[in-house]
Each structure stands twice: as C-alpha cells, then as structure tokens.
C-alpha cells in the first residue's frame, strides 16, 4: 500500500504539526470578544439572572477548552492523515470500531507513522485552489449589488469550475451563464422573489 | 384508536396530486444529495429552506419529509459502488456492500439496502405514530428545569460522549453557543454582541449558519483537497436490483434486528445513525462468526448490508418523533428540521400537536408516502442514480457554491448576510481541516436559546436557588444517565489511549529537526 508514501510528514520547525494552534487562538479571540461584550453590555430590565448570566458560563467554557486544546496540540504534534477525508470527526472512530467489531479498516486511524525530515514539501491543504474559491465568493459579494445576479453568479460558477480543475473555459462559461440565468428565471417567474438585476436592468 | 383517524386525515391531505408532487420532488432531491459523497439531507434542507419560503408550510414540510428519508436511501449507493459512503450513516453498510459489489453482486446489495432502508423507516414511523401522543403527554409535564436538562443532555451527548475528542467537541459546542447569543436577548430586550450593526439585531440566521458550515464549508474543503486526493474507481452494475426469495429469507431477520437497534437510538441525542448502524453491523458480524458464515468479510454478506441500512432509517424515523413531540433534535439533520419549523413560526414540542395538528399528521403521513416512493425510485433506478456520480465534480461544487449564496441572499436580500456566510464557510473549512465535529455547532445554535431561556426562567422562579435544576425525577434521571454515559466514554478513551501509546512509534524532536 502506498499509505506510507502519502503519509510522509516533515518536521522542520516548531510549527510542523502545530498549525492547529490557530484554532485555540481564534477561540481565545472569540472568548475575549465575549468577555468585552458582556462587561460593557447595556443591560435592560432588572431580571435576575439577567442577559449576562448565560454568556458568562459560555465564556468560562471557551477559556477552559481553548487552553486544554492548545495544551494537547503543544504536547503532541498532529499531522493530517492523507487517507482521511476529514468527515469522520462527528463520532469517535474508536467507539465505532468497538461497536462494529472492525479492528482494522478505514474507520480506525493509523497510529505510529514515523515523521520524516526529508520528502517532497507539499502542504496538506491546497491553498491556491482554496484561495481561488474563497476569492470567488468574496468577488460575488462585491459584484452582486453592482453587476446584478446573472453576472455575479456566472463569474462565481466559472471561477469555482476553473479552480476545481475544469479544462474547458469557454464551455464552462456557457454552462455558468445558463445556470445563473435559469436560477434568475425560476426565482423571478416561478417563486416571485427578486434577485438584483444590476446595471443590466432595463436591457433584459 | 385516535391516532389512526388522525393519520388517515393526514393521508387524505398528503395524497392530493400537488402534495404528491412535492413528496416526489423531495425524494428525488434527497436521494440525489445522498448519493453524492459529502452532501447530505441536512445540507439539502438548509439550501431548500429559503427557496421554499413562498410555499405554504404543509407543502414545504411534505417536501422535507422526502428529502429527510431520501438522503439515507441514497447514501449507500455510492458506498456500495465506490467504497466512498455518501454519508457517515452509510459507513457500516459499505463494508459488506462494497465486497458484494466487487463480487459482482452490486445490484443485489443495492436492493438489500433499499428494502432495508424502507423496512427500518416504515417500522420506526409506525412506532412514532403510536407513541407520539404518549411522548406529548409526558412532555406537557415538563417545566423549565426539565427542558434545560434535556438541552444539556443533548449538548454533552453530542459534543463529548460520542465525539472523537472531548475537547474538540466542546470547542465546537462553545462556538455554536456564541453564534446563538448574537442579537437581541428575548427576555430582557438587551442588545448583545452585534458590534452595533442593526442587521444583527435579529441574530444570525440559522440558514446562514447551516449553509455556511455544511454547504460552503464543504466546497472549501473539497477545493483544498481536490488536486490531492485520488479518484475513486467505480464498480459497474449489471441488471436491475432484484431480490429473490432466498435473499429475502436471509435478509429479513437482519432488517428486523437493524430496526430494533435503530428505533431506540432515534430518541437519544447521539448525533445520528453512526452508533446504531455500527452496533447493527457488529451484531451481524458476531452472529455470522457463531454460525460459521464464510461470506462475511470475504465475498460480502447480504446481512451485513441489511442490518445497518435498516438501523439508519429506523433512527431517522424515531428521531422525527422525538423532534415533533419533545422538540428535541437528536442529530444534525433533525436540528435543521427544527430550524425549518422555527422559520415558519412553529415550535416543535407538545404544543405543536395542539396548534398545528393537521400539519403534523400530514407530515407523518407523507413520511409513509415518501418511503414508498423512495423504495420504488431506488429499486427501479438504482443504476441511474449511480450515473449522478459521473457529473464532473467541478460543476457539482460550483453549483453548490452558487446555490449557497442564492439561498442566503433569498432570505433577507442582505449583503451583510453574504459576508457572514463567507466567514462561517471558512469556519466550516477550518473545522473540517482540523477534524472538529460539526454537529455540536448546529445543535448548540438551535438549542442554545432554549437552554438559556429555560435556565433563566428556572432560576428566576427559584430566586437563584440552583437546587431547582435537579429537583424532579425527570431531571435526576437525565443527569444520572448523562453521568454514566460520560463515565463509560471516559473509560473508553483512556483504554484506547493506553493501547495506542504502547504501540506508538517513539519520536525524538531533536533528532529530526533540520536533519
């Protein structure tokens, strides 16, 4: 099996296998925002317990889990498993393998793959593709009020297609345009909801 | 029997030509998203919610009923043919199902799965029809403390007991609770965490959160991996899915055992069908071992497909009962259904049967109708459904991206919502990337406001005395069961940690850095 090949990991510095620290960092930011918001809240009414009561509990929970998680990540480096599609997180695979009597196989994650310091450097996530898709959604948000639904949605569809590896730009363009127009038609004519027409208004 | 009269009235509403059309549309959509890996009924309902706003609630819920079960019918198809289950609820039936497909019995496996899903759903929905009024009577005695206990039970069961990592589950829960608190606080009218933006006074829309987490987050996740992961190879199917008498004889006990596992799990907030499907699969495996069945694990056993499929749909069936009668969502999909009710200004729970009785019984009747349509769709056209897997992935995900922004824009025509959607999509990506469970976020967003209101109500009544929270037999039982479950899962985690530690490769940091 080529699993050992794909699972090659490299340790090159402090951050290898510790990029997950971004999660507790963001959770701490969130907790900080919550603390600030709770402390400066303009409380209306005088009910006891008031609107600050529950947020305080949640806040304490966030601080505790953020530190616990950061501690766990610092103690053991975590590397993504290339065989795993990231969807197995909902339910403990250990518990499922006990219940299902499946000692081996895909639901149990492999342990003990030795990280290597050599090997082809390749980020686990494909940041370029992801960046294009995120950018496409951001572009859509900016374009919608100005250019209208059909143009904005066509661009979004087309860019996502390109990013995900389509090789036929012109054909994609017609598919995008068709899809966006069909949605516009279905919405305006069928459901009576209005999507912005943008500067094409009057031309259509 | 009062229920039967009511159900018959429901049938007479559900069987009008227009409503039949909605069930069929729902069933087709549900099967389609089920077949496609990574998409599920929760996402489908979330995307449909804003679009169905202009329909009357009955039509919308009839359609959701088709989607709800359809996802579970479809998910085994890609599991059997591609070895990539459409949803986590189909992992257990994929083990034996794919073996059968490799053995040239793909059509038989598909048929077993479809009939299994039908049997499980049918029996569970029947149980709901007969026991829902009992649950409702129980729930009418619930006060604030009981509802708070129920919410805490759901929070901790989904985030801690069943999740891979307790800490990650609780992080997800916390994020969900924060998202739920944005907006004007109901009881006091205080404005909370809106950054002064009037658009946020009504809180973050549940549609934005679910579409962001489940649809856009999935698109981002796929984008980050599409050029990395190898394509799955498909097993060709020949012939129409048929079961002969010998197959049915073999599968029938497994269908019934699977249903028996699924029915109780629908009422327990254990995050959906994973636990009962694996329990059912494990039972079949142990029984096969005892009987000396050699098919299991080699050429693929029909029983190993039948039991988990029945369990999955039985869970979904009783989950619907718990949702309607108690207002308690036990899985992510049920949580979205609850959100759907709230969008239409209805609150599932005991009062729903009183206030919108006609709708509830029509919904239950259309669950039956949906099952019949689904079993026909999946038996006759299983090969056709598999063709969906031929849609180029870039068109599929581009379409989902467009439908996500469409759905979110359609609810309130606000660009602010679109930016929030993007942010939540990135949150969904990050959670997938670092393997955080998503279900606790959804459950927290949906049950968070209820938990807060009921907790404050209970404490106001008792004038701050915390003992009111554990004052009744119902609350004591709930907390006790929760404590036992937490203890069992803690033992489980510790045992596995000890085992993996003893077998893990020892790593030395200094040796590797810069080597």
Interface probe with A: pick from B174, B315, B485, most Cβ of A within 10 Å:
B174
pLDDT at residue number A116: 40
What average pLDDT does range B469-488 have in this prediction? 90
**Cα-Cα-Cα-Cα dihedral sign, residues B425, B430, B431, B433:** positive
| pLDDT computed for residue A109 by the predictor | 35
Q: Chain B contacts of A80, Cβ < 8 Å? A: 433
Q: Are B293 and B301 in contact (CB under 8 A)?
A: yes
Output the pLDDT for position A122.
54
> Are A195 and B409 a contacting pair at CB < 8 A?
yes
Number of H helices, E strands in chain A: 6, 0
Q: Tell me, what's the pLDDT at A23?
A: 93
- Residues with Cβ within 8 Å of A200's Cβ and at least 6 positions away in sequence, in order, are A147, A148, A150, A151
Per DSSP bridges, beta strands B183-184 and B191-192 are antiparallel
| Average pLDDT value for residue range B109-132 | 93
Across A120-124, B15-19, B120-124, least confident range: A120-124
DSSP letter string over B193-250? S-TT-GGGTT---HHHHHIIIIIIHHHHHHHHHTTTSPPPPPPP--S-----HHHHHH
Q: In whole angstroms, give the CA distance from residue B356 to residue B328.
A: 17
Q: Which of B35-39, B207-211, B486-490 has the lowest mean pLDDT?
A: B35-39
- Terminal CA-to-CA distance of chain A, rounded, Å? 57
For chains A and B, count residue pairs whose Cβ atoms are closer than 8 Å.
305
A127: chain B residues, CB-CB within 8 Å: 224
Residue A111: per-residue pLDDT: 34
pLDDT band at B176 (very low <50, low <70, confident <90, very high): very high
Given a cut of 60, whether residue A107 has pLDDT beyond it is: no
Q: Please name the member of B88, B399, B513 whose beta carbon is closest to the beta carbon of A87.
A: B88
How many Cβ atoms sit within 10 Å of the Cβ of residue B436? 27
Residue in B92, B99, B171, B511 to test binding to A, most A beta-carbons within 10 Å: B171
* Inter-chain CB proximity A91 and B281 less than 8 Å: no
**From CA B515, how far away is CA A119, in angstroms rounded?**
11
Residue A25 has pLDDT above 90, yes or no: yes
Q: Do A11 and B509 lie within an 8 Å CB cutoff?
A: yes
ipTM of this model? Answer: 0.86
Q: Which residue has the higher pLDDT, A179 or A81?
A: A179
Amino acid B313: pLDDT: 93
Partners of residue B403 in chain A, C-beta under 8 Å = 183
Poorest-confidence range of A36-50, A109-123, B366-380?
A109-123
Q: Give A-chain residues touching B193 at CB under 8 angstroms.
A: 33-34, 37, 55
- Beta-carbon separation of B88 and A180 below 8 A: no
> Nearest C-alpha of chain B: how many angstroms from A203?
22
- Lowest mean per-residue pLDDT among A84-98, B49-63, B339-353, B412-426: A84-98
Q: What per-residue confidence (pLDDT) applies to A117? A: 42
B421: number of Cβ within 10 Å:
26
What's the pLDDT score for residue A201?
64
Q: Give backbone dihedrals phi and psi of B192, rounded to 5 degrees, phi first.
A: -125, 135
Label residues B237-260 b or e (16+ Cβ within 10 Å = b). beeebebeeebeebbeebbebbbb
Nearest residue of A to residue B401 by CA position?
A: A157
Rounded CA-CA distance B37/A173 in Å is 26
Q: Which residue of A has its CA nearest to B280?
A: A100
pLDDT of residue A82: 53
- Select from B281, B398, B512 the residue whose CB has the most chain A CBs within 10 Å, as the one to mutate to test that interface: B398
Are B284 and B304 in contact by the 8 Å Cβ rule? The answer is yes
Percent of chain B with pLDDT over 90: 41
Query: Residue B338 above 50 pLDDT?
Result: yes
Asked if the model's pLDDT at residue A104 lies above 50, the reply is no
Helix (H, G, I), strand (E, B) or coil at B70: helix
Residue B319 clears pLDDT 80, i.e. is over it: yes
The answer to whether the Cβ–Cβ distance between A117 and B401 falls below 8 Å is no
Where does the pLDDT of residue A17 fall: very low under 50, low under 70, confident under 90, or very high at 90 and above? Answer: confident
Q: Which chain B residue shows the shortest CA-CA distance from A43?
A: B190
Q: What is the model's pTM? A: 0.88
Q: Is there a contact between B464 and A48 if contact means CB atoms under 8 Å apart?
A: yes
Is B274's CB within 8 Å of A27's CB? no
Nearest CA in chain A to B223: A130
pLDDT digits (tens, 9 = 90+) for A135-190: 999 999 999 988 889 999 999 999 999 999 888 999 999 999 999 999 888 877 77
**Which residues does chain B have within 8 Å of residue A62's beta carbon, measured at their own beta carbons?**
174, 178
Per-residue pLDDT reduced to its tens digit, B264-309: 988 888 767 888 999 999 999 889 888 888 888 888 899 999 999 9
Scanning every residue of chain B, which has its alpha carbon at the shortest distance from the alpha carbon of A173? B395
Inter-chain CB proximity B513 and A45 less than 8 Å? no
Closest residue in B to A152 (Cα) is B402
Q: Which residues of B touch A153 (CB under 8 A)?
A: 402, 405-406
- Report pLDDT for B435: 87
Is there a contact between B405 and A137 if contact means CB atoms under 8 Å apart?
Answer: yes
What is the distance between the alpha carbons of residues A130 and B223, in angstroms, rounded to a whole number?
Answer: 5
Q: Is the pLDDT of residue B128 over 70?
A: yes
Mean pLDDT of chain B: 87
The candidate with the shortest Cα–Cα distance to A128, out of A164, A103, A102, A93, is A164
Q: Is the pLDDT of residue B179 over 60?
A: yes
Res. A101: pLDDT tops 90 = no
CA atoms within a 13 Å half-sphere pointing along the CA-CB vector of B79: 29
């Amino acid at each position: 099996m080529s699993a050992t090949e794909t699972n090659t990991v490299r340790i090159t510095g402090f951050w290898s296998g510790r990029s997950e620290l971004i999660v507790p960092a963001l959770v701490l930011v969130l907790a900080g925002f919550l603390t600030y918001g709770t402390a400066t809240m303009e409380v209306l009414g005088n009910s006891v317990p008031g609107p600050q009561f529950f947020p305080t509990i949640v806040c304490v929970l966030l601080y505790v889990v953020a530190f616990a998680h950061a501690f766990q990540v610092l103690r053991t480096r975590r590397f993504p498993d290339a065989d795993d599609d990231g969807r197995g997180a909902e339910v403990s695979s250990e518990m499922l393998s006990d219940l299902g009597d499946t000692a081996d196989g895909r639901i149990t994650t492999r342990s003990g793959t030795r990280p290597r310091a050599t090997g082809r450097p390749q980020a686990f996530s494909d940041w370029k593709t992801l960046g294009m898709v995120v950018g496409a959604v951001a572009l859509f948000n900016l374009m919608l009020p100005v250019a209208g639904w059909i143009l904005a949605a066509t661009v979004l569809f087309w860019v996502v297609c390109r990013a995900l590896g389509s090789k036929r730009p012109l054909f994609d363009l017609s598919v995008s345009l068709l899809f966006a127009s069909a949605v516009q038609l279905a919405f305006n004519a069928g459901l009576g909801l209005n999507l912005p027409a943008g500067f094409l208004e009057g031309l259509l | 029997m009062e229920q039967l009269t009511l159900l018959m009235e429901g049938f007479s509403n559900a069987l009008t030509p227009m409503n039949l059309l909605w069930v069929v549309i729902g069933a087709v959509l549900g099967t389609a998203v089920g077949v496609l890996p990574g998409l599920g009924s929760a996402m489908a309902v979330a995307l449909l919610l804003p679009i169905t706003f202009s329909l009357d609630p009955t039509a919308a819920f009839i359609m959701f009923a088709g989607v709800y079960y359809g996802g579970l019918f479809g998910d085994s198809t890609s599991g059997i043919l591609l070895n990539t289950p459409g949803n986590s609820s189909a992992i257990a039936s994929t083990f034996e199902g794919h073996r059968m497909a490799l053995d040239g019995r793909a059509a038989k496996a598909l048929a077993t799965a479809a009939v299994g899903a039908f049997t499980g759903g049918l029996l569970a929905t029947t149980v709901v029809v007969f026991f829902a009024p009992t649950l409702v009577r129980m729930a009418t005695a619930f006060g604030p403390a009981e509802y708070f206990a129920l919410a805490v039970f759901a929070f901790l069961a989904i985030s801690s007991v069943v999740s891979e990592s307790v800490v990650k589950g609780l992080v997800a829960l916390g994020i969900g609770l924060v998202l739920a608190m944005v907006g004007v606080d109901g009881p006091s009218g205080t404005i909370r965490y809106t950054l002064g933006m009037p658009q946020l006074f009504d809180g973050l829309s549940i549609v934005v959160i679910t579409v962001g987490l489940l649809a856009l987050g999935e698109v981002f996740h796929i984008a980050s991996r599409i050029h990395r992961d190898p394509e799955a190879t498909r097993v060709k199917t020949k012939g129409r899915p048929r079961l002969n008498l010998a197959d049915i004889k073999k599968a029938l006990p497994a269908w019934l055992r699977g249903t028996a596992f699924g029915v109780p799990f629908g009422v327990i907030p254990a995050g959906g069908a994973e636990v009962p499907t694996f329990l059912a699969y494990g039972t079949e495996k142990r029984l096969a071992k005892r009987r000396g069945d050699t098919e299991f694990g080699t050429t693929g056993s029909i029983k190993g497909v039948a039991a988990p499929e029945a369990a999955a749909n039985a869970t979904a069936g009783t989950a619907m009962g718990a949702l309607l009668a108690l207002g308690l969502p036990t899985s992510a999909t049920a949580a979205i259904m609850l959100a759907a009710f709230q969008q239409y200004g209805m609150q599932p729970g005991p009062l729903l049967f009183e206030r919108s009785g006609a709708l509830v019984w029509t919904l239950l009747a259309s669950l039956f109708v949906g099952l019949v349509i689904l079993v026909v769709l999946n038996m006759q056209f299983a090969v056709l459904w598999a063709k969906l897997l031929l849609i180029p992935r870039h068109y599929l995900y581009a379409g989902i991206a467009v439908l996500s922004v469409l759905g979110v824009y359609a609810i309130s025509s606000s660009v602010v919502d679109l930016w929030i959607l993007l942010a939540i999509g990135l949150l969904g990506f990050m959670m997938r990337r670092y393997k955080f469970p998503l279900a606790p976020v959804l459950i927290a967003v949906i049950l968070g406001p209820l938990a807060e209101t009921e907790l404050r109500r209970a404490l106001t009544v008792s004038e701050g005395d915390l003992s009111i929270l554990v004052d009744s037999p119902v609350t004591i039982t709930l907390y006790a069961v929760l404590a036992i479950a937490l203890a069992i899962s803690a033992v489980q985690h510790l045992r596995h940690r000890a085992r993996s530690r003893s077998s893990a490769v020892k790593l030395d940091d200094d040796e590797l850095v810069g080597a």
